[in-house]
Structure 1
Amino acid sequence: MVVDPPQKRRASGFRRVRDQRDLRPHVNPRPGGRRVDAAGQFLSPLRQLTTNIIDTYRIANPQFKYESATNPRRVLTKPSKPSHNEGYDNEDYDYILYVNDWLGTEEGHKYLILDVLGQGTFGQVVKCQDMKTHDVVAVKVVKNKPAYFNQSMMEVTILEMLNTQCDPHDEHHILRLKDSFIHRSHLCLVFELLSSNLYELIKQNQFQGLSTQLVKVFTAQLLDAMSILKDARLIHCDLKPENILLKTLQSPQIKVIDFGSACHERQTVYTYIQSRFYRSPEVLLGLPYTAAIDMWSLGCIAVELFLGLPLFPGTSEYNQITRIVEMLGQPPSYMMEMGKQTGQFFDSYVDMYGRKKYRLKSLEQYSREHNTNEQPGKQYFKATSLPEIVNGAPMPAFKTGRQGVEMEKELNNRQSFIDFCQGLLNMNPIERWSPQQARLHPFITGEKWTKPFVVRFSSSFSSFH
């Protein structure tokens, strides 16, 4: 008996494929139970639970109301506990900032907060996006205190003058102020967004120092900016590597920032100015000061860029003046006589010829008189004179076959650099070079250095008049 083979039964739900047309997906244009969007398109379950989830919630609960303010946001301010200004400020009177929060108003520019860039005594700086122009900017949000508010209003005035009158075409390496406004009692200043500061550059280089060529490129730009300030009779008052920023990481173009301590030469009301490592002898001694204090700071910065370490890393004001005197000798007599703080650091005595002289107080005497535990401070360099320190820095690696030529060029560059820095680090602010004078030095112009640079009396006279 012959039995027919059993028929294969097709699985339920499967169709026979005869040609390509049978492979086309079948889409139901009007699926049951689906709602449509504003354009009349049927919504898939995925869209109903993602892009259209607010409507989905509202259908499920007609009382549901969505507000972006209720979104969970990363807080950027520390401490973040509300304390003042109706809960908008913390205990330090800093505005409590969140990622994706807004600064500004609907009428003016609105700034979407992206991240924090820094925090200081004045307040905070955040990276924001200008929602009108879509530019990414830096916004300084000043503390909600009258002293900081007033000082920052001075910064606005100074930068507006520099940007519009002194450097209208953005050619002289000065920070650009784009906008300013008040947000919930906080003054906000909007700046162009820049890159790393020069301290971070030194740090990334393992504090090994930069080449004389790169130091020259940076210093020439700083002198350009300071010439503009000098002509405007403005003093920056806080020049240091942290306040000099690279425009981008791809080029050595820089900008001078933070005019929060700046003042006019006729309005030198503050006596406690300049960061300690870069503080000039006249400020330390309590003398009236001029734009020459910025040139002292520039001298300190130039040497630090080359060496990778600060030249005068004082642990206190006494330690600062001690380091300066050890390297450069005592300030001129007239500075000692006029200085309101001279007696803090020096004892006066009469020499055998009846002349009044000054002697730096010993560590023990200063500690005893001021009830402090002064320490000598770390010595970064074995040598004590500027020429010895600069010449003692490691030599760069020279190309094979050109060692002799390159070595001679580097040694000449170093001699020129030493002479240049000595003109800036002159104890006497009247003799210290102005930016206009310093720009003529061979180290900046690129001419071969043959002898000590001497400024002409005429340019000196015009510079200090």
Structure 2
Amino acid sequence: MASESSSNSHILPQNHEPTYAKKLTQRHCLNLNRNVSDDLLLKTERRKDMKNDSLQNSELDISNLMSDSRKKYSSDDLEKNTDIQKGDVIKNQFHMLQEIGRGSFGQVFKAMDSHTGKLCAVKCIKNISNFKKLAEEEISVLLFLMQQDKNNDYNFLHLRDHFSTDKYTFMIFDLLSVNLYQLIYRNNFRGFAPLLVRKFVRGILNCLQFLHKNQIIHCDLKPENVLLEHPGYTKVMVIDFGSSCFVGQNVYAYIQSRFYRAPEVMFGSKYGTPIDIWSLGCITAELLTGTPLFPGEDEQDQVACIMEVLGLPCSSVMRKIRRLHHFFTDSGEPRYLAERAEQHQTKINGNNRPRRMCRADPGALSLEVLLKSSLGDDGCDPMLTDFIARCIRWDPMKRLTALEGLQHPWVTNGDVSDHDKIKESPQPGGTQPSEGSAISSSLEE
């Protein structure tokens, strides 16, 4: 086990007040709500995950599967049906047990493979618009990566099978446990101890160094796309390669979820593997604090959030911005500062409803202060702050590479095992922990 003392083995530092929001900056307190119209869909999908998550680990009555009244699907049947439903049988093999995800692309189901008797996840992509092409590209990327990872050493979810009908493309995966966002949710949006976060980060870096070595950019790294391999254990797996591309093939301008979107993507500049490292830095901070590091309401506000912490971009970055006027005035002033002054004047004139949250001056906040607001002075390791800071530099060429990240002193410190048991925190009165209870990051021997 790690040499770190047991006093550091809890999610929150010792003596951390339960009413942790009191210690947060005003910015973080306001951001806890995240009640913004532009994020409504994201919040809705996340809440759906919460409702369905408890089903992933529930025991199944297999005797009910074969007697379900729903018919089995042929390609003709699929053509006539809008959605796949619970109880449907695909390819006379996969019994749909519960929808666990949904998007414009289609659905994801928890299913039983009747040939093996094992649970699996079935991703059902509609063969319409560009979805079929995206599915084919995701399958192609996964098959390529799997050829290089025959022993499943690199923390990404392998594709078990795939096939198509007239209406859908199906992708079959092993069923994993909760994602990191769900874990944060279960912990009441409190951060985890650095010991536990380091184990998650090490697994993500192991995946990224493998992807980047093979010239692949994930393009959508976020807490929802990093899952525990098994319930209650620290090993994580990266999923969802639907947006992935090879280096130099920047097909899409609109990629990455906003909170984790690298500046060069928003600026319209060329991008590469460093955009995944930016996302990792944001995820690391969120795992530690329980709230997003840069919670922008739209792209302009996202850049404003980044400027609050990092200050203005350096000249070498500014020269490469293709959407300069979207974020800066003709005089070179950040637009959010000009809008803030305008909002202040509007408030003086009697209109108290700002268009978006007011942001501080560039560089007014520091990463160290934001981390200390959650971790406390004792819990905020300078090497941890250094690791995150090196991930979120304006200049992508100055960020850590994934390999350098694996060699960073904060990452290499402590136990190298990434498959430890996460123990549930005991509840008052000796009761069993509920689904939403705090989770201890104590690791069993």
Please give the TM-score of this superposition, normalised by the length of structure 1. Answer: 0.67
Q: SS of the residue aligned with 1:274?
A: coil
Verify the 8 A CA contact 2:308 2:359 in the aligned structure 1.
no
What percentage of residue pairs aligned between the two structures are identical?
Answer: 35
Is residue 306 from structure 1 mapped to residue 288 from structure 2 by the alignment?
yes
Q: SS of the residue aligned with 2:108?
A: strand
CA distance in 2, matches of 1:86, 1:267: 34
CA distance in 1, matches of 2:260, 2:299: 11
Specify whether residues 228 and 394 from structure 1 end up closer, same or farther in structure 2 by C-alpha distance, changes over 3 A only: closer
Match of 1:239 among 221, 242, 265: 221
In structure 1, the residue matched to 2:326 is 344
CA distance in 2, matches of 1:98, 1:324: 42
Offset at 1:123? 1.1
1:219-275 alpha-carbon deviations (Å, 9 max, x no partner): 011110000011011000000000000112221111000001000012111111100
Verify the 8 A CA contact 2:122 2:171 in the aligned structure 1.
yes
Q: Unmatched 5+ residue regions in structure 1?
A: 1-67, 75-83, 90-95, 350-357, 396-406, 448-465
In structure 2, the residue matched to 1:387 is 368
CA distance in 1, matches of 2:78, 2:87: 21
Q: SS of the residue aligned with 1:223?
A: helix
CA distance in 2, matches of 1:422, 1:126: 38
CA distance in 1, matches of 2:258, 2:336: 20
Specify whether residues 422 and 86 from structure 1 end up closer, same or farther in structure 2 by C-alpha distance, changes over 3 A only: closer
Is residue 422 from structure 1 mapped to residue 389 from structure 2 by the alignment?
yes
1:129-151 alpha-carbon deviations (Å, 9 max, x no partner): 11211221100000231300101
Is residue 248 from structure 1 mapped to residue 230 from structure 2 by the alignment?
yes
Alignment of 1:313-328 (within 5 A): 313-328=295-310
Specify whether residues 392 and 189 from structure 1 end up closer, same or farther in structure 2 by C-alpha distance, changes over 3 A only: same
Offset at 1:364? 5.9
Offset at 1:85? 6.9
Is residue 208 from structure 1 mapped to residue 195 from structure 2 by the alignment?
no
Offset at 1:311? 0.5
Is residue 135 from structure 1 mapped to residue 122 from structure 2 by the alignment?
no
Is residue 150 from structure 1 mapped to residue 133 from structure 2 by the alignment?
yes
Verify the 8 A CA contact 2:340 2:358 in the aligned structure 1.
no
Match of 1:360 among 325, 331, 334: 334
Match of 1:124 among 107, 117, 139: 107
Specify whether residues 392 and 373 from structure 1 end up closer, same or farther in structure 2 by C-alpha distance, changes over 3 A only: closer
CA distance in 2, matches of 1:180, 1:377: 48
Structure number with greater CO (CA < 8 Å, separation at least 6) is 2
In structure 2, the residue matched to 1:101 is 88
Offset at 1:348? 4.0
Match of 2:407 among 431, 436, 440: 440
Please give the TM-score of this superposition, normalised by the length of structure 2. Answer: 0.70
Q: Which has the larger radius of gyration?
A: 1
Specify whether residues 367 and 277 from structure 1 end up closer, same or farther in structure 2 by C-alpha distance, changes over 3 A only: farther
Structure showing the higher helix proportion among its residues: 2
AA partner of residue 408 (structure 2): H
AA partner of residue 211 (structure 2): L
Offset at 1:185? 2.2
Verify the 8 A CA contact 2:79 2:166 in the aligned structure 1.
no
**Range with bigger deviation, 285-294 or 135-144:** 135-144
**Range with bigger deviation, 131-140 or 228-237:** 131-140
AA partner of residue 418 (structure 1): T
Verify the 8 A CA contact 2:179 2:227 in the aligned structure 1.
yes
Offset at 1:312? 0.3
Alignment of 1:24-423 (within 5 A): 72-73=69-70, 86-89=79-82, 96-104=83-91, 110-165=93-148, 167-349=149-331, 358-362=332-336, 365=339, 374-376=355-357, 384-395=365-376, 410-411=379-380, 414-423=381-390
CA distance in 1, matches of 2:104, 2:137: 16
1:366-387 alpha-carbon deviations (Å, 9 max, x no partner): 999xxx97312699xxx82101
Q: Unmatched 5+ residue regions in structure 2?
A: 1-65, 72-76, 343-352, 415-445
CA distance in 2, matches of 1:268, 1:221: 26
AA partner of residue 446 (structure 1): N
1:178-216 alpha-carbon deviations (Å, 9 max, x no partner): 000013421010011001000010111111100010011
Specify whether residues 137 and 211 from structure 1 end up closer, same or farther in structure 2 by C-alpha distance, changes over 3 A only: same
Offset at 1:114? 1.3
Offset at 1:427? 0.7
Verify the 8 A CA contact 1:285 1:336 in the aligned structure 2.
no
CA distance in 1, matches of 2:211, 2:392: 19
CA distance in 1, matches of 2:207, 2:311: 30
Offset at 1:326? 1.4
Verify the 8 A CA contact 2:288 2:375 in the aligned structure 1.
no
Offset at 1:164? 2.0
1:83-131 alpha-carbon deviations (Å, 9 max, x no partner): x975312xxxxxx222332112x5xxx2111111111122100011112
CA distance in 1, matches of 2:341, 2:217: 33
Offset at 1:342? 1.5
Verify the 8 A CA contact 1:319 1:377 in the aligned structure 2.
no
Q: How many residues align?
A: 332
CA distance in 2, matches of 1:114, 1:220: 33
CA distance in 2, matches of 1:228, 1:279: 21
Q: SS of the residue aligned with 2:256?
A: coil
**Range with bigger deviation, 326-335 or 261-270:** 326-335
